[in-house]
Structure 1
Amino acid sequence: MARWQPDARGRLAAAALELFAERGFDQTTVTDIAARAGLDKRTFYRLFGDKREALFSGSELLEQTLVAAVAASDAAPFDTVVAAYRRVAEEIFTDRLETVRLRQSIIDSSPELKERELRKMGSLAAAVAVALRARGVDEVTATLATESGATVFRVAFARWLGSGGGSSLAELVAEVAAELRAVTAGA
């Protein structure tokens, strides 16, 4: 094997996902992950703090995409948040249903990973709220728009994972947002 190969981070994340699926999260070691990727433990720790971070490594891109979409929008706050989640769905999740299902099954198998997922989603929501406030949206409106948009995304994401792949995640985000609008209009 050559001394250097590109995309060590991606190879480590892919190796981690494979091994977590094969052996389980708790039974997989950093040494196992590094070996599967053809790297050493030092490289793993240079790129990830721990094996959980290998599983959650896409969070940074997700946050950057959401915040950039919110900052670029001049729509109403809730519409902005929904559009940002649709952008994430199109740019990050398109053609990845099976990989995302596998990742979610690994998360669902561990209370520790479920808790980590909830913290990551909370961090995303906080970043979106900050981006809305930076656009001049007041605190209450930013919080309501952000939390409502995050709920829309969670419901759409669950539908997408449970689907046969007929609708894209972006389509489901729009569908669930319309359902929420209908529910609140009748209130």
Structure 2
Amino acid sequence: MAQDIRELFKNDQKITQERMPENHQERFLKKLDLELPAKTKTNFNWLQIAASIVFLIGFSYGALKFFKKETPINNVVATKTVETKTLGDVSPGLKKVEDYYLASINLELSKAKYTPETKDVFDGYLEQLNVLNKEYENLSAELTENGPSELTVNALIDNLKYRLNLLYRLRDQLNELNASNTNVDEASQSI
């Protein structure tokens, strides 16, 4: 099986010394031209031109709307909104505490029954609750600005406790008022 490489080269040189027929390249190019279609010049028709114009008008309109500067209205003051942090942003454990208190506060608020007889008591407690809510927002803003500290976190939790206790007192007071109104009604009916 082993062949001498010199023998192979000698045989190869005999093959390569053969000449190609004359005009071989010209005949090949003619055959190639016949097989491949000639390139035709593409003409734009009026629909393509119209579509291009519509596209450019639409694009220009969109760019105008996007880059147009709106003049601010004098009455409106632009404010920068900053996402305030909550206890849940500090740690998952504090998020559970905050969620518990907020759920309890919302539950107590939903249970409270507002009647014309209890309007004054109800309004007084709601004012106190609004003061505590504003203080909670201030503490949340402080937490956002200064980062978490033990004092701020404890103040936020205490605020939630105060709000919940306030609602418990409102519930108890409303129950007492309803009980006294029921006793008055029973007494007036028995007379």
Q: Same fold (TM over 0.5)?
A: no
TM-score by length of 1: 0.22
Question: Larger Cα Rg: Structure 1 or Structure 2?
Answer: 2
